Amino acid sequence: MKNRQKLPGSFVKMSIVGGVAVCCVATAQAVTLTSTIDYTTSNVIVVDDDSAISTLALSNPVPTDVITGLSVTVNVTGSSGSINADGTSTESGLGANGYWNELSLVLTSAEGTSLTLIATGTYDQGVDTEFVVFNFEQGGASQSGTVASGSFAPTGGSFAAFNGEDASGFWTLTIADSVGGDPKSLNSWTLNVETGAAVVAAIPEPSSALLSMLGIGVLGLRRKRS
């Protein structure tokens, strides 16, 4: 016995094998949704002993699809002086830029799930680095020590926390600086979300042998009553 049900972007084939309903999901090629915001063309977001929130919007073209993967790229400036509207620092040279230990970044999904990308205290204090591009992805390197551009895993957990959610809606990135006097700026960030059909689990169904035994039992009860 076979039943088929069509879903947008995929199809589900169910077969009864040995008394168990086996569900196989064939999915169309995964779709990657991308959204970017660049503040360097206007005014970068500067934090100094405070925090700020940046918002991006995503629209999922297939409403039934859910998140299967995710990565985030964030461009940040650190300064011991002040930060210009385009994200450049007013200070440069040895000792001019540092205190990256004060930085924290938190990503929040459209459904409200939050994941810490960088926790306060992750990096060393005195680092003469002005611009850093963080590419956060599953399987990236762990973060600690001297800050540098590269690909990293979030400090607060796994991107799998977003799997199964709807990507559509407003996503936020919160940037914070924990101590005054050494500002940080959010210059730009890009969100990449992979989506695909939801996974359908196998559905147990009574075996033919069990159904036969139940039938015999019911028949026996009827005979006793008669």
Residue pair 108/93 in contact (Cβ under 8 Å)? The answer is no
Q: What is the mean pLDDT of the chain?
A: 82
Mean pLDDT of 188-205: 79
Q: What is the homologous superfamily of the domain 29-199 according to CATH?
A: Galactose-binding domain-like (2.60.120.260)
Local structure of 135: helix, strand or coil: strand
How is 55-77 classified by DSSP, letter by letter? Answer: EEEE--SSTTEEEEEEEEEEEEE
Model pTM score: 0.77
Give buried/exposed letters for 194-214 (b at 16+ CB in 10 A, else e).
bbbbeeeeeeebeeeeeeeee
118-153 pLDDT, tens per residue?
A: 999 999 986 778 889 999 999 999 999 999 999 999
Domain ranges of the chain: 29-199
Local structure of 43: helix, strand or coil: coil
Length of the chain: 226
Asked whether residue 6 carries a pLDDT value surpassing 50, the answer given is no
Whole-number pLDDT of residue 29 = 65
